[in-house]
Every structure is written in structure tokens, then in C-alpha cells.
Structure 1
Amino acid sequence: MGGRWFDRCMPQRIEDHAIIGDCYSAALVDRAGTIDWACLPRFDSPSTFAALLGDEHDGHWTLRPTDAEARAERHYAPDSLVLRTVWTTATGVVEVTEFMPIDAHRASIVRRVRGLRGSVDLRQTLRIRFDYARALPWVRQVGDDDGPALLATAGPDSVLVRGSRFHADDHRHVADATVHDGDVIDTVLTWYPSHREPPEPLDVDQALTRTIDWWHDWSGKTQVEGPYADATRQSLLFLRAMTHAETGGVVAAVTTSLPEDPGGERNWDYRYVWLRDASLALASLIAHGYQDEAKHWRRWLLRAIAGDPADVQIMYGIAGERELPERELDELPGYLGSKPVRIGNGAYTQYQGDVFGEVLAALHDARELGLEENADSWALQRALLGYVEQHWKEPDNGIWEMRGPRRSFTHSRAMIWAAFDRGVAAVEEFGLEGPVDRWRQLRDAVRAEIDEHGWNAERGAFRQHYDTDEVDASLLVLPQIGYCKADDPRMLGTVAAIEHDLRVGDDGLILRYRTSSGFDGLRGSEHPFLACSFWLVEQYAASGRIEDAERLMDVLVGAANDVGMLSEEIDVATGHHIGNTPQALSHLTLVSASDAINRARGKAAGHRTRVSQRDGSTRSVTGEGEQAGTPA
């Protein structure tokens, strides 16, 4: 064969990846034509390919021209997560279409090559490594009348690869082909439990048509407008891909241990479902026309938190599992050498008082936006409020899951205020039963405490927690929950302090908090947190700084990679993505920030929000182009 071949030794950058998925699991494909991360058959399953957290020996599947000078351009098929990459070489052009079939009842990855012009020499290299590269499989040829096939088995896992003829080559398998104009070559990888019989071959034409149609049908329900409609629509697609089709749980990301501080220890497993993301997802789905999906997600939420309110966790497994023990994998060297690599997440044992407010606020938003309440769901909410009544004064680990001592975080206290506030509103506005006088008194008591201890009069800003003069980007949420108006002088002072203390670089991106204070219990630092910067966009838009909002929004949307994906953080010096990807919270807050700009520009009609009154009460309003937090 002509050309040169190289076997990539290290993964490409985080931003070089695109996601494909079937709403059960996902795979990441980089610009070099390599799938270097895939966990099958579920988002949180042990990996089948893990080169992203090491090198090619940890599992990967590369498909690309042998010409090292080949150029690639890629995009998703419109309104879908079917990825198309056009490779141009000196001798010809080919298109590679990659997807995970929807509704195929199997965990499969399809890679279709179509010759467009001339001829192109291609090579596939395949290293299957189960269980985070700890299980080297037994691999054998099992071709039959349906064509060549490769079967890899280790323990409970089997993978069958059909369509291309691979041969063994030093603990990997290689398939070579020359593709001419009009040729089509399909390679289909399917995971299945090793104790079962292999699944029947996949009809690729049918699966591709069905998958594109499914994504088109789903995307067609999206109600999006304004200057950031494309980014919003793409974010909603990513969020749907990260939502488990059966359980309704939305994972925070499809990866684990992509570092917040490359080379450091801030490496976490995000393949679980956070109640905080649940709150944002519920409101976003309803606001953009996805009532059925919102109902599905609410059912997940109610199942997960059912039982004793004292047992409510900040996160759960995809089906609501409660045990997520954290451990380190010494076998994987980590992304760019960032160790430890972790699976599980020990933060599930933390107490974070803010989750009660987030859950109750989300369920109240669902009521306001048309989802009918039922007796069981309201009974559960009353039980949560009863628990909060008894424990609201307890310090917690805060929204950022501090691994240091518990504190009285102002954001957490404000979310406790929101919990009581939504309880009051449920009775007053929807006629539900509950001890409204007690909830109103407790709401006022929480507000009084925050005003006394969470407010730094000398600096003119809210505090991160009661024992510091530091600020925190989570304070930007206060107007969003109705605690105060966006143009409240206290909020404007807090924004000024955040801009002074937390802004990094010239583009206006902000940190979550200053890690230099050292109280989070971890070594190292981190980069601007994208969700916080989107919160700042929303604050700017709601307080009349619309030009600042759009300027910062342009920076944030511009930080997405070529297919629109955002990770958790960004390195402002290099533009590299940092942290797990795609990050649900980044995309959720992008949607919310886009909506806020539309409201400020008068482009979003009928939006409902809660606005704070001077006496601390709130009310719901509906109107044309309202600013969030501003009375109509």
C-alpha cells in the first residue's frame, strides 16, 4: 500500500473530540480518526477503549488514510449526532460516517467509508481492552456466510467486529483497504454479554436512516430563537445524547478523570447524575418544547430521591443507584499524565444543603410551566421540606463539593431559602396543602441570617461563606432563584467583586472561586469554569448590561470546538478545553444564558420567572421580553 502509517502514541486534546451516542452510552472520536474513549453498554460501564486516559495500548479504534498528510473536515449531519468526516489525500477523497444506532437494542458503533473521488488507501487499527485496559481479551476470527468477523472476549464482555477483514499485528488487529470512487465499506463493532450468543448482523442502511430520522424528529420539537439559536440547539442535542433512554438520568459528562488541573489531582468521575443538573435540565426541556422528556426526567428524579429525606444525595447512578464508591486505577497513566484516574465519586456521601432548594425549585418550575402535580410527588416534596425544617442550619460542603471542612455557604443558604419559598408558592399559587405559615416564617428567618452573615457590608458584596471575605461565582445564581433582583445594589456590588477577584484574562471568563485560599482541601489550581461565565452572561442580561452579556456570550460560544462541544473549563492562555466532556452543566447554562439574552432583547414571549419583592416574598409573572428578576 502507498503512503505512510503512524500509530498515534498519545490522545489528542480534549477539544479535538466529537461525541457519538445512542442515548445509552457514548464514544468520543478525535480529529485523527480515532475512537479513544468508549464505555459499553452504559455511560458508566468499564471502558472498552481508554486511550484518552493513557495511550494506544489502553484501547482504541483508528480509521484513517495511510497518507500522513491527509486533511480532515468534519461535521454532524444536520440536527443529529451522526458524524461525517471528509478525508482529502493526494490521490482521492473519502467520507467516513460514524454513529451509534438508535433503537437497535444493541451497543454498536458503525463506521461507514464511502469513496467520493479517486482512490484512497485506508488502515484500521483496533486494540480492544476491557475494564479500563485491565483485561486483555482473547481475540479470534469467526467469519461466516455474512463475511469476515473478529470476536474479542474477556470475562463478562464480548465485542464482535463485522465487515472488515482484520489480521493480528503485535497485540492489535489491522485491516487495510483501498477505497475507490463509489465504494462503500461498513465496519460494525457490537458489544454483548459474553454468556450470550452473538447478535445478528446489523442492516447498516436501515440503521443509518432510522438513526438520522430519530434525531431529526427529536430536534424538530426544539423551540429556539435568537442570535445563539444554533449553539442552543446543538447543546440540547448533546444533552439528549447524555440522557439515558430508559431511566431518564442525565449524566454530567461521558468521561472520567479529565483533569481540571492538568498534571494535578483534580480528576473526577462525572458519569453520574447530579440533582443540580437535574434542576436545570428539567426547566430547559420544558421551556424548549420537550414536555415528554421533562416528564421522563421528573420520574427519574422522584424515584431517585424517594424514601427517607435524610438519605437524599447530591448525585446518583444512572438508574438511581446510591452507592458510587470512589477508587483509583493505577493501571492507567491518566490524560497527559494526570493522576490519579478515578472511577466512582466519593462526593456522593457529602451533605450539600443547596440540593433541596434545587430539587424543589425545579419541581415548582415544572408546575409553573404546565406539568401536572400528583399526590405522590407533592407528598415527597413535603417530606423534603420537613427535613429541611429540621436541618437548615447545618453547614455543608457547598455546590463545589469542597473536600475541606463544612461551612455555611451563602449559596447553599440561599437555596434553602428557595426551598421554603417554593413551598409557600405551591400552597399560595397552586392550592396544594402544607404548613404555609411555618414555611413563610422559616423563609424569612433564612433571609435574615443571610443578610446578617452572608453580606459583607464593608466590601459591598455577598460572601462565599460566613467566615470569609472571599466571593464565589455561585452567588450569581441569587437573582435566578428570586432571592434578589439582578439590579439590586447588593447584587451589583457582588458582580463587581467577582469581576475583580475571579476574572481571568481579557475575555471576561471567571473562576468558580480562588483556589489560592486553600480551603477546598485540594492541591493545585484550576481554570475558568464555563458554567459560571454563562451565569455571568445571564446576570449581565438581566441587569441591563446587554452589550456585555453578548460580548461574553460570543467568547463562550466561540470556545466550543468545531462540532459545538464544551468541556468543564477552558485554558484562556491556550484555548484548550479542560475537564470532563461534553459537560452537561456547561451546555445547560449556555441554553439558559441564550434565553436570558433573548428575554433582554424582547425576543422570548411568555417566559415565566419568579421575582423577589422587597418584603422577601416572590410572585410569578408572565410577559413579553421580561428581564429575569425584574418586576413586570
Structure 2
Amino acid sequence: MPAPIEDYALLSDCRTGALVSRDGSIDWLCLPRFDSSSVFGALLGDPGHGCWTLRPSDAGATSTRFYLSDTFILVTRWETAEGVAEVHEFMPIQPTRTEVIRRIVGVSGSVEFDTELRLHFDYSRRLPWVRQVGTPDHPALHATAGPESVIVRGVRFHAEDHRHRATVTVGADEIRDLTLSWFLSYEHAPKPLDVEEAIAGTRAWWQGWASGIRHDGPHRDAVVRSLLVLRALTNKDTGGIVAAATTSLPEDFGGSRNWDYRFVWLRDAALTLEALIAHGFLAEAHQWRRWLLRAVAGEPREVQIMYGIAGERDLLERELTSLPGYDGSAPVRIGNGAVDQYQGDVIGEVLVALEAARIAGLEEGDFSWPLQRALVEQVIVSIDRPDNGIWEIRGEPQWFTHSRVMMWAALDRGVRAVREHGLAGDAERWEGVRDRLRREIDDRGVDAEGGHFVQHYGSGDVDASLLLLPQVGYCAADDPRMLRTVAEIESRLLVNGFVRRYRTESGVDGLGGGEHPFIACSFWLVEQYAASGRTGDAQTLMAGVMAMANDLGLLSEEYDVGHQRQAGNTPQALSHLSLIRAADALAGHRGRAAHRD
């Protein structure tokens, strides 16, 4: 079986990412983009589905690892009976090339490394044609499958039953570089990379970006790493922000709640945008707004909840039989059927984020405000329509309270844009619809007996998304209805002190099985506690949720508290941006609601 999810490190070139296990195996790599097909797919199967291992031959070797300060250059320090060596691995930040670099650095004594390469293209559906190229002094392995090729340089491999093996020995101060380069099979292989220059350039790029981070509150290291994760998941060419680097890591081990998260959800991207703006990155807001204009181009009624990294619309969901799933959790899915859902909250998320950009100083362009104005009108057109909600339920659409509140927020931001920023729009009509919607929510979205907000109209259940209501200014954090809602969440949704999204046993999502506490939801509760004066509870919960991160500060989607392991796709943008907002709340920042006064 693959390593535990929390054992994986991320390498990123801001186009795609590799997952490297603590044991030195790259078990997941899609080239050249996050949403491309995999070359290494062992994460969703076993080594026979593709991987690249690099570790000392000594079975007793021990390791420690860390990211070089404020970068995604991973350093793994190996200690053996014969010596000490480090592996420095990264994906260079380059204009066009896509590569993985694995540099072995001798520290003391002598260390022999074994490396094994198993190339299985197209989600393990294609074995490549492999041949030795290069020279005895500069060996290389060239592999081709259909339109794709890779060339691996730095060591001479020996073939054995669809795997290629080699050994490398380094002494003190010796360096050996292993490189994998992706290219189109009908083009010439790229020339060897200057690794020294690539390391220096990549280090400077990441650290230069991180130097712009503004954060004056607690948990600075975790906030900086989380902002770096958000940047790593943002395509440097298109501005698209993927929800996670992986597909089909299970929310329910052995179950079927396995989804492809390698796409741009408008909701998650908008929330990410807000986190970046709050910490000094207005240029990223401009790039993402341009991405939005391209992706949404056309009729507002055709707006999707998610898109491909460059704004593609066709994300057809299908199941693969070539990969058996993480630890047997099937099916493995590519594409995502939720693309066809109506989720009423999404436009509100977008307009709240774009208001934050506007307040931060991003000027409206010729098309940006007309698009937002059209989105407000689309909310009005859809106002009598139930939806699938923030959690993308696959059961019957409902009148989800959170969705209705975000529709209210969309109208509210439209009104404020006209009244406070002088933009053109029918503010009086929008205000009337907004206020009628508030009356509806106050009437139907609150439990008549308990006085708490409900998951959806006609239900007495609660939902973790209700914690977001104060964050968009719908009500105060200490509103009696919110305090009763928090009490209900504490009573019904906590597992060992951490928050589930909702009661899966209610059947509202139309799926079998269950799931674990959702990491972002626990951070939302931290934010609520902090905003309502429960500072001690906020600090205690914050410490507990942050302990779910791995040794590199990475968080997946969910956490199995019973077995103390991460679950779901990783690293998860929503988990990291929620960490950032929770840390900000502990510092007294009000975030999205700050401009409602």
C-alpha cells in the first residue's frame, strides 16, 4: 500500500506538483499540469502503477526532512552506518520547461543510494517505449508514450521487467544530480539543465515571493507555509487556483467518497484570493480576476461552479479501472460531475472576494464590473431555485441556508459597489430583493423551537457552513441565533473536539458511508470562537487542528481522529486558507466582515 497521506511532501513549479513520500518515493506526478494524466500513480495503487524511488541501500537508514526556508525545495537528510547524505529535490520555476530535480549531496563518509524508476503513463494505462540514449559519461533514459516523453539523466539504469534500477554512491562533498524532464514526443528532448543555476533561481523565486507576506499575528510560520501552499496550487501562467494537487484520496477509507480536486472551484479560488489579498498580494488578485473574466466569458446563466486550470468547461467525470485506489479505496475518478450542479453560494463568494480586492485598491477594468453586475442579475434570476450547496450533495437539491445567505451577500456587495464606490447599477432594485431574501432566511432558515440556524429549510439539522454567516456580515458572531447554532454544532457535529461538515447519516448527500472531521470546518469554529469572545477555546482548538499538519506543515482535507491520520485530497487549499483566516482571527482581524460596519 502507499504511504500514509501525511507522509507526503509537495514539490511544485506552480504548474504541477509531485508528491514525495518520507521514504523517498515520488508516488504521484501528473505532467505537465496538475490535471494532466499521471506518469507516477503509485499513490492510487502500488509501485507497479508508477513511481520513482531514491533512498540509501542501507535498510537501517534513518531520515529527517524539511523545506529550505520559505521554498518548496525539499531536503531529506539520510543517516546510515557508513555515512550521511542529503537529497535536495524540487521542481524548477521556469518559463516553459517541466522538470523534477533530485540532487544527492554527500555530507560525511560514504552513502550508496538505490534508485528505481517505473514509468506508467496515462494513469497507468500506457507502458512507454524506453531506450538508452546519451553517452557512457552522460547516460540518459528516454521514454515515450503517445504524445508524451520524458528523459531521465544522471545515472545509467538497467532494465528489469518494466522497471529500471541503478545505484549511486556519494562521498563527503560529492554531488550527483538526477533529473527528469517532460516534453512532447514529437519535439526534441530539452538540453540538460544547469542544476546549480536552477536551484539558485528557484530558491530566489520562492523566497522573493514569500518576502512580500504581511502577517503580524500568531502562528507566523504556519501562516507563511500555508500562503506558500496556496501559491504552489496557483498556475503561474493562467492564474487558476486548484483545490488540491490530487484526485481520489479517500474521505472514507475503503469507501467511495473519492473525488478529483485538481480543478478551479470559483468558491475555493475566491476564498484563496481573499487570503492572499489580506496578506499583501494584490497582483494575484488582478491575475485571478483576469482568469475569471476569461473563464466566465459568455452568458452569466452559463457560469459553472468550477473550471479547468485555464478555464476549460468540459470536466466530465469518469471512473478509471487502471488504478485500484488508495489502499483499495475505489473508484478512482478523473473529472468531476459536480461541474453540472447549481450551487447558489458560488456567485456570492466571487463577489465578496472581488469587493475585498476593490477595497484593497484593485481598480475595476472595462469588463470586470460589468461582469459582476451581470452576476448580481443572475442571482436574482436564480433566487427561487434550490441548490446542491457548498458540499456538492448528490441527493435532492435543497434550500440550503448557507447558500441563501451567500446569495444575500452577492446582492449586498452589488448594492455597496453602487452606493459606496460609485459604480453603475440598479441598487434600489437589488436592495429590495436583498432585504426580501433576508426576511425569508430569518423566517425559514432558523429553527422555530431551538432558535438556531438550520442546514436547509424544513430541517432541524445544523451544518458547519453556518459558521460562515458572520464572516460575510449577515449577522454578528455573538448574535443569539449564532450562539445557539454553535451550541448545536458542538452537540451534533464534533468528533473528539473537531468538526464534521454535517451528519452524513441524515442522508442529505445521497451517498453511502461516512467521513471524518473536515479540517477547514474546525478552523471556522476557531474563527467563530475568537470573534465571539471565547478566546481560550479558540486557542485550544487552533492548537489541536494545527497538530493535524504533517512535519512539513501540510494539511489534507479531513482528519481521521480515531487513527490519527490525514484523509482526503492533499494538500488542500481550503484547509490552508482556513488556517490563515483562523490565525488572523486570533490576532483580532475580522476578515470578510471587517468592512460591514
Q: Give the alignment's TM-score, normalised by structure 1.
A: 0.93
| SS of equivalent to 1:547 | helix
Find the aligned partners of 2:199 and 2:110 in 1 and give their Cα distance: 24
Find the aligned partners of 2:4 and 2:58 in 1 and give their Cα distance: 21
Q: CA deviation at 1:400?
A: 0.3
Q: CA deviation at 1:468?
A: 1.1
| Equivalent residue, structure 1, for 2:432 | 441
| Equivalent residue, structure 2, for 1:296 | 287
- Which of these residues, 479, 484, 499, is aligned with residue 470 of structure 2? 479
Does residue 1:65 correspond to 2:53, yes or no? Answer: no
Does residue 1:229 correspond to 2:206, yes or no? Answer: no
| Equivalent residue, structure 2, for 1:133 | 124
| Equivalent residue, structure 1, for 2:296 | 305
Find the aligned partners of 2:218 and 2:61 in 1 and give their Cα distance: 35
| Equivalent residue, structure 2, for 1:450 | 441
| Equivalent residue, structure 1, for 2:526 | 537
Deviation by residue 1:584-622 (Cα, 9 ceiling, x = unmatched): 0000111111111111xxxx6xx77546xxxxxxxx36x
Root-mean-square deviation over aligned CA pairs: 1.1
Code of the aligned partner of 2:302? D
Does residue 1:257 correspond to 2:221, yes or no? Answer: no
Code of the aligned partner of 2:77? V
| SS of equivalent to 2:327 | helix
Deviation by residue 1:227-261 (Cα, 9 ceiling, x = unmatched): 21110000011111110010000100010000000
Q: CA deviation at 1:433?
A: 1.2
Code of the aligned partner of 2:50? G
| Equivalent residue, structure 2, for 1:526 | 515
| Equivalent residue, structure 2, for 1:627 | none
Q: How does 1:207-218 map to 2 (within 5 A)?
A: 207-218=198-209
Code of the aligned partner of 1:396? D
- Which of these residues, 160, 163, 167, is aligned with residue 151 of structure 2? 160
Q: How does 1:158-237 map to 2 (within 5 A)?
A: 158-237=149-228
Find the aligned partners of 1:69 and 1:27 in 2 and give their Cα distance: 26
Find the aligned partners of 1:594 and 1:136 in 2 and give their Cα distance: 47
| Equivalent residue, structure 2, for 1:327 | 318
Asked whether the equivalents of residues 94 and 117 of structure 1 are also in contact (C-alpha less than 8 Å), the reply is: yes
Does residue 1:462 correspond to 2:453, yes or no? Answer: yes
Find the aligned partners of 1:147 and 1:274 in 2 and give their Cα distance: 44
Code of the aligned partner of 1:318? I
Does residue 1:577 correspond to 2:578, yes or no? Answer: no
Find the aligned partners of 1:608 and 1:598 in 2 and give their Cα distance: 11
Aligned residues: 597
- Which of these residues, 366, 369, 376, is aligned with residue 375 of structure 1? 366
Asked whether the equivalents of residues 104 and 207 of structure 1 are also in contact (C-alpha less than 8 Å), the reply is: no
Q: How does 1:590-629 map to 2 (within 5 A)?
A: 590-599=579-588, 609-610=592-593, 620=595
Q: CA deviation at 1:382?
A: 1.0
Code of the aligned partner of 2:537? D
- Which of these residues, 376, 380, 384, is aligned with residue 389 of structure 1? 380
Code of the aligned partner of 1:11? P
| Equivalent residue, structure 2, for 1:267 | 258
| SS of equivalent to 1:351 | coil
Code of the aligned partner of 1:583? Q
Q: After the TM superposition, list the runs of 4 or more consecutive aligned residues in structure 1 that deviate by more than 2 angstroms.
A: 607-611
- Which of these residues, 14, 18, 21, is aligned with residue 23 of structure 1? 14
Does residue 1:91 correspond to 2:86, yes or no? Answer: no
Asked whether the equivalents of residues 167 and 174 of structure 1 are also in contact (C-alpha less than 8 Å), the reply is: yes
| Equivalent residue, structure 1, for 2:555 | 566
| Equivalent residue, structure 1, for 2:69 | 78
Q: CA deviation at 1:362?
A: 1.0
Please identify, of 299-308 and 337-346, the stretch whose mean Cα deviation from structure 2 is larger.
299-308
Deviation by residue 1:184-237 (Cα, 9 ceiling, x = unmatched): 110000011101010011000000110001111000001122221110000011
Deviation by residue 1:316-366 (Cα, 9 ceiling, x = unmatched): 000000110000001111001000000000000000011111111111111
Where does structure 1 lack aligned partners over 5 or more consecutive residues? 1-9, 612-619, 622-630
Find the aligned partners of 1:609 and 1:570 in 2 and give their Cα distance: 26
- Which of these residues, 500, 504, 526, is aligned with residue 515 of structure 1? 504
| Equivalent residue, structure 2, for 1:281 | 272
- Which of these residues, 26, 50, 53, is aligned with residue 44 of structure 2? 53
| Equivalent residue, structure 1, for 2:235 | 244
Does residue 1:123 correspond to 2:119, yes or no? Answer: no
Find the aligned partners of 1:95 and 1:384 in 2 and give their Cα distance: 52
Does residue 1:502 correspond to 2:481, yes or no? Answer: no
| SS of equivalent to 2:367 | helix
Find the aligned partners of 1:608 and 1:526 in 2 and give their Cα distance: 29
Code of the aligned partner of 1:534? F
Distance 1:145 1:64, change over 3 A: closer
Code of the aligned partner of 2:201? R
Find the aligned partners of 2:556 and 2:428 in 1 and give their Cα distance: 44
Where does structure 2 lack aligned partners over 5 or more consecutive residues? none
Asked whether the equivalents of residues 242 and 269 of structure 2 are also in contact (C-alpha less than 8 Å), the reply is: no
Deviation by residue 1:12-63 (Cα, 9 ceiling, x = unmatched): 0100000001001100000000000000111100000000000000000000
Q: CA deviation at 1:571?
A: 0.5
Asked whether the equivalents of residues 317 and 336 of structure 2 are also in contact (C-alpha less than 8 Å), the reply is: yes
Q: CA deviation at 1:145?
A: 7.7
| Equivalent residue, structure 1, for 2:404 | 413
Q: CA deviation at 1:146?
A: 6.6
Asked whether the equivalents of residues 368 and 608 of structure 1 are also in contact (C-alpha less than 8 Å), the reply is: no
| SS of equivalent to 1:192 | strand
Code of the aligned partner of 1:528? P
Asked whether the equivalents of residues 369 and 608 of structure 1 are also in contact (C-alpha less than 8 Å), the reply is: no
Find the aligned partners of 2:364 and 2:61 in 1 and give their Cα distance: 57
- Which of these residues, 327, 331, 339, is aligned with residue 340 of structure 1? 331
Asked whether the equivalents of residues 347 and 401 of structure 1 are also in contact (C-alpha less than 8 Å), the reply is: yes
Q: CA deviation at 1:391?
A: 1.4
Deviation by residue 1:241-300 (Cα, 9 ceiling, x = unmatched): 110010000100010000000100100000000011121111111111111112111211
- Which of these residues, 415, 422, 430, is aligned with residue 424 of structure 1? 415
Deviation by residue 1:429-477 (Cα, 9 ceiling, x = unmatched): 1011111111111111111111111100201211100021110000000
Asked whether the equivalents of residues 121 and 178 of structure 1 are also in contact (C-alpha less than 8 Å), the reply is: yes
Asked whether the equivalents of residues 470 and 593 of structure 2 are also in contact (C-alpha less than 8 Å), the reply is: no
| Equivalent residue, structure 1, for 2:35 | 44
Find the aligned partners of 2:347 and 2:168 in 1 and give their Cα distance: 57
Q: What percentage of aligned pairs have identical amino acids?
A: 60
Q: CA deviation at 1:302?
A: 2.2
Code of the aligned partner of 1:369? A
Code of the aligned partner of 2:434? R
Find the aligned partners of 2:495 and 2:519 in 1 and give their Cα distance: 12
Find the aligned partners of 2:154 and 2:168 in 1 and give their Cα distance: 12
Code of the aligned partner of 2:250? P
